[in-house]
Amino acid sequence: MMSLNRKMDLELLEKLCLAHGVSGYEDEVADLIIDTIKDNCDTVMKDGVGNVIAFKKGKKTPKEPIMLCAHMDEVGFSVKHINDDGTLDFLEVGMSPTVLPSKRVLVGKNRIPGVISSRPVHLSPDKTHAVKQADLVIDIGAKDKAQAESLGVFGDYAAFDSDFTLLGDGLVKAKALDDRIGCAVMCMLSGCELENDVYFAFTVGEELGGTGATAATNRIKPGICLVLEGTTASDLYGYEEKDKVCKVRHGAVCPFMDGGTFYDNGLYKTILDLADKNSIKVQTKTKVAGGTDGARIQRCGKGTKVVALSLPCRYIHTSSSVASVEDMESILCLSKLFIGSI
């Protein structure tokens, strides 16, 4: 089995996770990816919406183009207003406000440190009240509005300030594992000898509805697409078995459907067969939840056959997602086998 458990590979994943790529601000991630794959692919370009599109020649040319897709953007924040006291009102992208109080963030390209602030629970008139977006601000330590404005933060993004950490026995803790794991896998595959020609689409705006996936699909016009993603793992205390969705350390997740897509049944079975024949761990979801770029890809043009492989992530869409290196390895191996099976 190909292994992600090598220093170089984990260093790549770490670089991708630590890069900032909040939806709408993916350039830092895109530049890192281009620098990583430019010598491995026949063509690499950035399209008008910010996607990175690469083509790699394989041993054979399939009847219809094969596309692998992973999104570059991550959940985060956009500064929408500066208050008189120098705190920042923000819009959140892709997460629940309840997970945000006290989280550290970095604002903009200058990485201005800040903390998400809210009224302390013990001072709230209703201690059962769930935190809402309107209750939260980013505190960057500015003494007033003028000082905050001088830093040029209005309209800029903020990303979680979170380390990449090896955790326990074979786990990783990081921000943005959704979907830097997909980006890392495609970067690694670009350096491999592949059985078929492949287009790699590193897309923007998945957390905002799939803008980049639509543009990439209209450009490439694939017959088949493999979406590489992160997905919710709730294998935690308090969840009933049917509500755990999927489990960390139980292999790559190959869903038969999600909240936006019914995946191609033939491709779904192909991945399960490849896993079985090659003794690779794979699982499916026990609950229809979430969504991927697959929904947009499936509906573009004349339609595309879509299948997905996802990394089970605990605490997804937070500053501290947790996932298994062994599960990453399963995605990498199955992706390469899938390309050769078409």
The per-residue pLDDT of the chain, averaged, comes to 91
DSSP secondary structure letter of residue 110: T
Go through 258-269 and write b for each residue having 16 or more CB atoms within 10 A of its CB, e for each that does not.
Answer: bebbebbeebbe
Residue 95 domain flag: yes
Instruction: Work out the average pLDDT over 80-92.
Output: 94
Q: Which amino acid is at 305?
A: K
Is 337 in the same domain as 226? yes
Is 187 in the same domain as 200? yes
Q: How confident is the model at residue 127 (pLDDT cuts 50, 70, 90)?
A: low
Instruction: Tokens for 124, please give them.
Output: 């709230």
Can the peptide bond before residue 179 be classed as cis, meaning omega within 30 degrees of 0?
yes
pLDDT tens-digit series, residues 287-335: 887 789 999 999 998 899 999 999 999 999 999 999 999 999 999 999 9
Residue 41 domain flag: yes
Instruction: State which residues form the domain around 126.
Output: 76-160
Instruction: Work out the average pLDDT over 120-147.
Output: 78
Is 66 in the same domain as 80? no
| Domain count of the fold of the chain | 2
Q: Domain boundary residue among 99, 129, 160?
A: 160
Residue 316 domain flag: yes
Residue 51 domain flag: yes
Q: How confident is the model at residue 342 (pLDDT cuts 50, 70, 90)?
A: confident
Q: Is the four-CA dihedral 273, 276, 281, 283 of positive or negative sign?
A: positive
Active site residues: 206
Residue 166 domain flag: no
Residue 324 domain flag: yes
Q: Domain boundary residue among 97, 131, 160?
A: 160
The CATH number assigned to the domain holding 286 equals 3.40.630.10
The three-point CA angle 76-228-186 to 5° equals 100
Query: Which is more confident, 338 or 131?
Result: 338
φ, ψ (nearest 5 deg) of residue 201: -115, 110
Q: What percent of the chain has pLDDT over 70?
A: 94
Is 257 in the same domain as 187? yes
Q: What 3-state DSSP class applies to 39? A: coil
| Helix 7-18, helix 177-190: angle, nearest 10 | 130
Is 15 in the same domain as 111? no
Q: What 3-state DSSP class applies to 134? A: helix
Is 68 in the same domain as 124? no
Q: Is the four-CA dihedral 18, 24, 29, 31 of positive or negative sign?
A: negative
Is 278 in the same domain as 198? yes
Return d(Cα 68, Cα 64) in angstroms, integer: 13
Q: Are 54 and 44 in contact (CB under 8 A)?
A: yes
Q: Are 315 and 245 in contact (CB under 8 A)?
A: no
Is 278 in the same domain as 154? no
Return d(Cα 206, Cα 73) in angstroms, integer: 7
C-alpha R_g of the chain:
20
Is 181 in the same domain as 47? yes
Q: Domain boundary residue among 100, 129, 160?
A: 160
Is 333 in the same domain as 191? yes
Is 111 in the same domain as 237? no
pTM of the model: 0.92
Return d(Cα 160, Cα 266) in angstroms, integer: 39
Is 107 in the same domain as 34? no
Instruction: Work out the average pLDDT over 71-91.
Output: 95
Q: Which position has the token pair 């339609």? A: 303
The CATH number assigned to the domain holding 92 equals 2.40.30.40
pLDDT at 125: 57
